[in-house]
Structure formats: C-alpha cells, structure tokens
Amino acid sequence: MGDTTSQRSSAILETTPELPLFDLRLREQDLQAVAEVLRSGWLTMGPRTKAFEEAFAAQLGARHAVAVSSCTAALHLAYLAAGVGPGDEVIVPSFTFAATANAVLYCGATPVFAEIVSRERPSLDPEDVERRITPRTKAVCVVHYAGYPAAVDRLRELCDARGLQLIEDVAHAPSATLAGRKLGTWGLAGTFSFFSNKVLSVGEGGLLCTDSDEVAALARSRRSHAMTSGTWDRHEGRTDTYDVVGLGYNYRLDEPRSALLLSRLEHMEEDIARRRELSARYHRLLGEIPGLIVPFAGSDLADSSCYVMAVMLEREGLQAQVARRMREQGIQTSIFYPSIHRFSAYRERFPDLSLPITELASQTELTLPLFPHMSDADQDRVVDALAQALELEAGQ
Ligand SMILES: Cc1ncc(COP(=O)(O)O)c(C=O)c1O
C-alpha cells in the first residue's frame, strides 16, 4: 500500500466486504495538508476554502465556485437562487438520490417527477419534462446519473424557450462534459458533492458553481446566515461587526476539508482517467453476459467521470437474489437508486404517481464496485461472480 492509507485497512470497518463498492485511498500529501491546517489553529471557513474555490472554478471554467457543507446545501441555495418558493414546481428525476427532490421541499415548493429515457440511458427525458411543465413550473433540475452527460443541451433549449431556470445536479459528474462543455456550466448553477463515496471525496462537502454574479453573491451570503462579514474577515481585522440581511443557514465548509479537497483536486483527473479505463473494461466484459443491460454502452467514456458502474438485470425479480449471491462471494453491490417517489415520505404526497421506466430501473439496477485503485483481477472477480449469479438465478 506504500505511502497511502485506505478505508479497507481500517480496523473500525471490520464488516466491510473484501471487495467494497467504493474504497478511498488518501495520499501522504493529503494527510500532510490536513495536519498543517490542524496545526495552524484556524479551522472554520477561511483562506484554504477560498483557495479551493479558486482552483475548482479554474478547473471547471466557471466564473464562481462557492464551497458549502454538502451538495444538498448547494441544491437548496441553487433553487433559492432560481427564485423557487411556496407554490412553485421544480421538475426533477425520481431516479436519483433523495437530496435532489428534498431540497425542493426545503423551499416550500413541489418536486414534479419526470421519467428517465430508458434503462439503456437512465437520464432525465427532455420530452417527458416538457409534458410536465405547468404554469407553476419554475425550474428543471437535471442529474448526470453515474457521471454520464444527460441531454442538458436539449434541456437548456427547452428551459430557455419556456422561461424556466435550469439547475444541474452534478454530484456524480465532476470534470465530465457534453460537446466539449463541462457539466455544471450549462444552467443557472451546478451543484457538486464531496461525500465519502464520490469522485472527489472528503467525507462531507459540496459546492455551487455559477457564471452569475448575483447567484454567487446569494449563495455566499446565505451559506453563512446572510451575515455581511465572516469570522475570518473579523479575525483579519477587516471589520468589527456585521449585519444579518436575510434568512441564511450554516452551510459553511471548514478548513481541514477544504485543504483535503485542494490536495485531492490535484489528482482528480488522474483518478478519473483510471475510472474510465476500468469502466471501458467493465463495459467490454459485462457486454458479453446474457441477461444484462449495460447503461451508456457505446457512449464516449471521455465525456464521463465514470462515477459508478451501473448494470440493469434484464429480468425483474432477480435483484435481491443476485445481490445476495454477490455478497456471499465477498462483493458489495448497491442500488443506485430506489425511486424517490416510492419512498414512504413521498408516497404519502404522491400516492398515485406511476413512472414505469424509472420503477423498472430501480427494481433491476445493481451498482458494482468501482474505485481508482481497483485491479483488473478485482474486476474479473466481480464480472465472474455476476455471470455466475445470473446463471444460477436464471436456472431457478
Ligand atoms: C445525485 C445526487 N444529488 C445530491 C446528492 C447529495 O449530496 P450530499 O451528500 O453531498 O449532500 C447526492 C449524494 O449522495 C447525489 O448522488
């Protein structure tokens, strides 16, 4: 393992399967960057957060990057910046993590769930989005599922034509592109996640990017209780006092995580390059297994950040059994994602909503292990175990 540290070697995670879904490996320089902050004695948002924001914005090609405590917080601020409030509707996919829709509810607005295109292309369907627009629709939020670009160009045209704001949930897709343009820069704002299993992970953290000076100003203000100055400004003697000029939140990121992000950002492209290699190999090997659909097969992986490796079992009713057989082989799988509208809290709000393509995807999807230091042999184990599990289940 050399000069790195890994979750896999941690004694606290004794229950981790031999081959986990995701494994984080930090470099010695990452540990040093954090140790330096801890020794500095300044831990809340300050100069390292600013340095990280500048580096991230430059890499993305966006005018502004505002670091926050999570992607959920960034989504909340993005919806507020889009003017979303009580009585409004925001069109979102249901085939995503709950945060995409929850943040709409934080604004007192209603999420309107739209379909994905297909199991082969499980991204928001622009045609279904168009069908669901009403006079109350304020915004559309597109998710770049698994790191692969959704049809954000068509959604942009649609939103422009209908006077709607477009938000990109880019939690899965740092550095991914469509037509040479980075994801996250197509709409009013893009929201990134640095949660522990993400491409750029530090445990918890998020970021809102935007080209709009007004949106950036709103996000900067609201992430810290809409105070006119921060603790760092006062520490630096720039001002002694502050006013509170709106309803804000504590969505600040802290300095240890900013330092870790800054350090890890230097290697993000290298990590993504390895993810692409592994995903290309997965696509090739999995494409030969009968009974499987491989989403985004044939797409250009250079456009994707290859965040997770999703497969869909052609037949319904096998998901739990195949996952169980894989776990018995020491391989962790997951479901990205159960449909949001089928969760108890959402079913109460939308008891009659039916989204057949999304529901079928949720019932047949399995997410396979993928992380940059995974070996080809690890991958072969996953592919063989999956092929065997499917064969056994098909014979039942
Ligand atoms: C698509 C999507 N949106 C939003 C989030 C929320 O991110 P965070 O955990 O940083 O709040 C996630 C994270 O899991 C996600 O996958």
- 190, with CB counted inside 10 A (0-12, 13-18, 19+), is buried
| Res. 234 pLDDT band, cuts 50 70 90 | confident
What digits encode the pLDDT tens for the residues 28-45?
999 999 999 999 999 999
Give whole-number Cα distances, 199 to 106, 147, 244, 303, 365, in Å: 26, 9, 36, 15, 20
Indicate whether residue 187 lines ligand 1 (CB < 6 A): no
What pLDDT is recorded for position 229? 87
Residue nearest to atom 8 of ligand 1 (CA): 71
Site to substitute for ligand 1 among 72, 168, 208, most atoms within 8 A of C-beta: 72
Indicate whether residue 206 lines ligand 1 (CB < 6 A): yes
Round to whole Å and give the CA distance between 371 and 201.
12
What digits encode the pLDDT tens for the residues 103-153?
999 999 999 999 999 999 999 999 999 999 999 999 999 999 999 999 999
Round to whole Å and give the CA distance between 358 and 379.
28
Compute the distance from residue 178 Cα to the ligand 1 centre, in Å. Answer: 21
Atom of ligand 1 nearest to the CA of 197: 14
8 A C-beta contact, residue 169 and residue 75: yes
Residue nearest to atom 7 of ligand 1 (CA): 71
Round to whole Å and give the CA distance between 192 and 284.
29
Query: HSE (CB half, 13 Å, CA atoms) of 6?
Result: 17
Compute the distance from residue 304 Cα to the ligand 1 centre, in Å. Answer: 17
3-class secondary-structure state, position 203: strand
Round to whole Å and give the CA distance between 91 and 112.
5
Residues 6+ apart with CB under 8 A from 357: 115, 116, 117, 118, 119
Nearest to 48 by CA among 255, 257, 264: 255
β-sheet bridge partners, residue 190: 168, 209
Residue nearest to atom 14 of ligand 1 (CA): 97
Indicate whether residue 191 lines ligand 1 (CB < 6 A): no
Answer yes or no: pTM beyond 0.85: yes
What digits encode the pLDDT tens for the residues 239-298?
888 999 999 999 999 999 999 999 999 999 999 999 999 999 999 999 999 999 999 999
Give whole-number Cα distances, 180 to 160, 185, 188, 304, in Å: 20, 11, 18, 11
Q: Is the pLDDT of residue 12 over 50?
A: no
| Res. 16 pLDDT band, cuts 50 70 90 | low
Site to substitute for ligand 1 among 21, 69, 71, most atoms within 8 A of C-beta: 71
Indicate whether residue 169 lines ligand 1 (CB < 6 A): yes
Indicate whether residue 56 lines ligand 1 (CB < 6 A): no
* Phi, psi values for residue 142, rounded to 5°: -100, 140
Indicate whether residue 110 lines ligand 1 (CB < 6 A): no
Indicate whether residue 188 lines ligand 1 (CB < 6 A): no
What pLDDT is recorded for position 231? 82
Round to whole Å and give the CA distance between 66 and 68.
6
Provide the mean pLDDT of the chain: 95
- Provide the annotated active-site residues: 198
Place of tokens 């030969």: 288
What digits encode the pLDDT tens for the residues 55-111?
999 999 999 999 999 999 999 999 999 999 999 999 999 999 999 999 999 999 999
Bond prior to 148 in cis (omega within 30° of 0): no
Residues 6+ apart with CB under 8 A from 113: 91, 92, 93, 94, 101, 340, 341, 350, 353, 355, 358
Q: Is the pLDDT of residue 228 over 50?
A: yes
Q: Is the pLDDT of residue 11 over 80?
A: no
Nearest to 143 by CA among 82, 101, 199: 101
Round to whole Å and give the CA distance between 119 and 18.
29
Indicate whether residue 146 lines ligand 1 (CB < 6 A): no
Give me the torsion for CA of 63, 68, 73, 74, rounded to 10°.
10
Compute the distance from residue 97 Cα to the ligand 1 centre, in Å. Answer: 6
Q: By percentage, how much of the chain surpasses pLDDT 70?
A: 95
Atom of ligand 1 nearest to the CA of 204: 10
Compute the distance from residue 102 Cα to the ligand 1 centre, in Å. Answer: 11
| Res. 2 pLDDT band, cuts 50 70 90 | very low
3-class secondary-structure state, position 151: coil
What pLDDT is recorded for position 15? 53
